[in-house]
Amino acid sequence: MIKVAIIGGSGYTGGELLRLLKQHPDVKITAVTSERSAGKDISVLFPNLKGYGLKFEPFKPSKVIKKADLFFLCLPHKASQDAVSYIYKSGKKTIDLSADFRLKSAAVYKRWYQTRHMYPALLKKSVYGLPELYRDKIKHASIVANPGCYPTSAILALAPVMGNRNLDTNSIIVDSKSGVSGAGRSPSLPLMFSEASQSVKAYSITTHRHTPEIEQELSSLLKKNINIVFTPHLIPMDRGILSTIYVSAKKKIKLSDIQKKYREFYAEEPFVRILKSGEYPTTKSVLGSNYCDLSLFMDTHGNDTQTLIIVSVIDNLLKGASGQAVHNMNIMYGLDETAGLTSISSCP
């Protein structure tokens, strides 16, 4: 049994980790921390986890470090930096769900997060935890930077065509739609039921912090720097991200060739499904599962232009956060990659 601790476990990603790991055959949760809820049973914050028998404790590093071998960090960005460094020095492993170790460049981090990165050396040690791209590195990583929810939906949708010379990689537009849980669990007016229900809005246009993360990974695949246009939207639903992605073609391309490429690229992947031609993914059909469903379309109705449209859906708290973290753990410890992640989405 792997002994794991969850640091900062009172939010939605912490709750999902508790739920998933409780059902994981090879894991024992030895600690879950929360400063504000220290001493309380976890069911006070997670009524779904009644009868679990776990209490929140404060995060005292010297005490908690002894309890576990692997630490899932669900702290806000910046707060994660010290914790990751401490755990790393102790020779233990971290899966960090914050953004602190995702960007390889401390300068880019500073520009987007308006704070200095205190451990640039550790950025080189950390592995971007997208199993479909970095499985081998994850196996041997001590620090896994678990990807953001939007980046997961966008990078998986674009990775197979990043080498395609007939596509204009300077034209990529990612229009993403997210459920409200993606904004976290801290009460605020725009996230109140009566404000968010029955409404859709765009937000953080040109300024969302997941932009450089997507750009970093696409640039790495392309082996040249690119920029994208990324627009997130808030949708009146609890969970789920649907990204609609547009890439202009420079030459005529056959949709079937692109579809074939995707099927090959993800042939061995347990959590990526390519839908049949013309089939539309819905966020609802992946809720509660760790799947990313992709569907491909080609707009050729105009004479002059041709646009590849990729639609991607994930559960932002599973494949977009805690599910992917468990997947990373399974890889790090040589377990069956789907262990603890076999839950099937329900209807409705």
Question: Within 269-308, which residues bind a second copy (CB under 8 A)?
Answer: 273, 280-289, 293, 297-305, 307
In this complex, which beta carbon is closest to a second copy, that of residue 90 or of residue 227?
Answer: 227
One residue of 188, 223, 254, 334 binding a second copy per CB under 8 A = 188
Q: Give me the active site residues, please.
A: 149
Q: Which of 122, 344, 34, 170 is nearest to 18 (CA)?
A: 34
DSSP 308: E
Does residue 189 bind a second copy (CB under 8 A)? yes
Whether the bond between 131 and the residue before it is cis, its omega within 30 degrees of 0, is no
Which residues have CB under 8 Å from 182's CB, separation 6+?
Answer: 149, 239, 241, 316, 320
Element (H, E) at 219: helix 210-222
User: 173-178 and 307-314: which strand pairing?
Assistant: unpaired
Q: Minimum CB separation from a second copy for residue 93, in Å?
A: 25
Q: Minimum CB separation from a second copy for residue 196, in Å?
A: 4
Cα four-point dihedral sign 208, 222, 271, 131: negative
Per-position x/- string for 151-170, each x denoting binding to a second copy as judged by CB under 8 A, each - no binding:
-------------------x
Which residues have CB under 8 Å from 309's CB, separation 6+?
Answer: 244, 245, 246, 296, 297, 298, 299
Does residue 187 bind a second copy (CB under 8 A)? yes
Per CB under 8 A, which region of 28-36, 56-64, 149-157, 194-202 contacts a second copy?
194-202
Per-position x/- string for 29-58, each x denoting binding to a second copy as judged by CB under 8 A, each - no binding:
-----------------xxxxxx-------
One residue of 79, 108, 133, 309 binding a second copy per CB under 8 A = 309
Residues in 195-254 at the binding interface with a second copy, rule: CB under 8 A: 195-203, 205-206, 211, 226-229, 231, 233, 235-240, 242, 244, 246, 248
Q: Minimum CB separation from a second copy for residue 185, in Å?
A: 7
CA distance 328 to 318: 12
